[in-house]
Amino acid sequence: MHPYTNVKDLRTNVETTAATEVLDGKIDFFIKESLSATAKLHYFSGQRSA
């Protein structure tokens, strides 16, 4: 991965320097941020569920 060690999720703009961990499957941080962004999108667009 030399010389760049950043991993960026282009959908949420979340970025980390732990490239090796991401390649090892530790992507919980990206999943949480993606779910949070989706929830915010639905909330602010008026697509709230009852």
> Rounded to whole angstroms, how far apart are CA atoms 4 and 37?
26
Q: Is the pLDDT of residue 1 over 60?
A: no
- pLDDT higher for 2 or 22? 22
Closest to 34 measured CA to CA, from 3, 13, 19: 13
- pLDDT one-digit tens code per residue, 15-46: 999 999 999 999 999 999 999 988 888 888 77
> Rounded to whole angstroms, how far apart are CA atoms 10 and 43?
21
Q: What is the pTM of this model?
A: 0.67
Q: Is the pLDDT of residue 48 over 90?
A: no
